[in-house]
Chains A and B, each alone.
Chain A
Amino acid sequence: MMRYLLYLFLGLVTRSVLAQTDSTSANPAAFEELFGRDTTLRPGSQQLKLNMDATYDRPFLTMGKLPVSVGGYLEANTQYMQTNGITEGLSFQMRRMTIFLASTINRRLKFLSEIEFEDGTKEINIEFAAMDLELHPLLNLRGGIIMNPIGSFNQNHDGPKWEFVDRPLSSTQIIPSTWSNVGFGIYGKMYKKDWVWAYEAYLTNGFDDQIITNNQNRTFLPATKANADRFEESFNGVPLITIKTALKRRKWAEIGLSWMGGVYNKFQDDGLVLDKRRRVDVFALDFNSTLPTRTVINGELVWARIDVSSSYSQQFGRQQRGGWVDIVQPVLRRRILGWNTAVLNVALRVERVDYNVDTFAETGESIADELWSIVPAISFRPSPTTVIRANYRYQWDTDLLGNPPARTAGFQIGFSTYF
């Protein structure tokens, strides 16, 4: 499988590069556009983009108009972390390399895929591979492996778009970003003056019971991603429904509301009843805005409700909640070291995850099992598609019982770039 993917990738890269070379020799301006100074995601075109549009809002799709477009992004970093005075030392991490392949089969028929190699080749996933068919701007069909539109980060997760080395915790610990499944659905978008409204709705395969039977010792929705069979068959035959709607006013703000719900357990097998149907429901609210000072505020709040058997341990939360807010302030925008559109940002992320919103039956006291984290950051963008970032993280992890929190802090320096 690995070898096949490698051959496919090399073949397509070769084809793409040759095509680009041919076109540039005939058109130096196009070469300049492609390899030269400016790969900016142009601000003007961004004003009507939503988080939902992230899938098709990537530089490789805007640089050339080739039969097949190839692109991707890369994320790597080093980090030094210490927990309660104990450190594992300095580590270098290859977080992920993602390859995009896309094709406009017809003006209204598109294909895009996203293949991700995480932690070297520890995990290889097809995160997105879908065909999009436009029937009407308000009615498009999408089928294949899709990213469930829950919150904002799950769809808008490309490393180069963020000033932080780590992904937001509530988006990866409650929402299992990147969370993609096989299924189909519809989406549409409508513009009216300064307003944009869009929706997405999908039926896909969903979760399995690993969300409460995992080695994290807590309810942990990402544990379901260990079920590789979910791209082949549903765990229980009940589709997961994901619906999102978002509204944006140009130069003002975007707000999105989303819900994802379904049955996670195998309630029957071979026609025999094993348990009642147990649901998992996730609600998310996302928002982003750019203030006149060019300050970008971006955030997401998430709530999850899980029907856990009363005879199972309270260790496995029946409700979870979390959220994060990023504030990014450009402090320098000018030509730096020959980079025409370089930007220096300062940024701050505050995030919280409560894995178990409940009280102990034995004492009536709150179950803790939560974390807080604060991440100041500096990022340098020589080009909008590339970011070099330095983060400092301070995190408080409190265990189930509410004992004194483990304090983790450290430094991360890394980069991420589209290619």
Chain B
Amino acid sequence: MDLSFTAAEEAFREEARTWLAENVPAEPLASMDTPDGFEEHRAWEHVLFDAGWGVVSWPRRYGGREASLVEWLIFEEEYWASGAPGRVSSNGVSLLAPTIFDFGTPEQKDRFLVPMARGDEIWAQGWSEPDAGSDLAGINTKAPRDGEHFVIDGQKTWCSRGAFADWFFCLVRTDPHSERHAGLSYLLVPGDTEGLEARAIGRLDGEPGFAELFFDGARVHERYLLGGEGEGWAVAMATTGSERGLNLRAPGRFVAAADRLVGLYRELADSRGPDLDRRDQVVGAWMGAQAYRWQTYATESRLRGGAPIGSEASFMKVLWSELDVELHATALRLLGRDGERADSSWMDGYVFALSGPIYAGTNEIQRNIISERVLGLPRR
């Protein structure tokens, strides 16, 4: 056990911190869930990628710097502490890319990874359907084969930034007579495919950040099949490991938010005096972020030792999503009469945080996974 960072890791941290201090936009960008804000965030992805900070952990041939997982965690700490914009490319980079690395053909890797990492092609996830949310194996969008193509008919929904995205990674039923986990395939669908229409849905904040996807005879070439035909469930489960675990929401994000919350308390206490109940809520948020941070470094050590990240990812997902809600709720309580104001980043953060316990598998599903697959309680 050695919980210090190596000289190389400290140098990496310093390099990231210096670059971010010089390059992070001084003014916050418009919301990435609006058409203009989406393009502003895309332009920021170009800046990051061109400077070598877009995908630090990736191989050099795809634009990364082959950073270790510890270095990636350090980068995330510095990134969020610097106040840099949200990552509009994250669904592709964090969720799809690990699956392409594992299951993609060499041609698929060469075709997709760099444009994804640079933000030239931004990806959205097409999994949920109106009648299949938590019960993902209940999806019903059909895509039977027709020669070299799959022909998609059906509907996807709750597709984040689907109205603006360039590509979609979808789970579809290529064997139309199959049921449940069998007969599914993982298809990469160009946004301009004929027979595909994306319609924006207003999210809780009113921004058009959700979309429904309507497929009406949309033809997708077989070169866009990721993994084997009919093996989509196994491929998709590889993605959920990334989604729930540390890829999508690294601790740095919450450590930075908790530090800002501490700063907010300090600022308000200077003018209004101390409030010990709320101070304790601030401490609780800080503790949650630190607990996640150390648990993640501990998990990284286990992964380096060869252990797989399995159902334990569900621990992380429950922790960070519930922490995020509490942290922002605490900030709104601290703000008092200003808590309800719509022009605060804390309110934006609160509204976004409320989606966390729902997406990527609801926290009720995660607790089922923890109790059944980690603790070994009987399924029925």
Instruction: Answer whether A and B are interacting partners.
Output: no
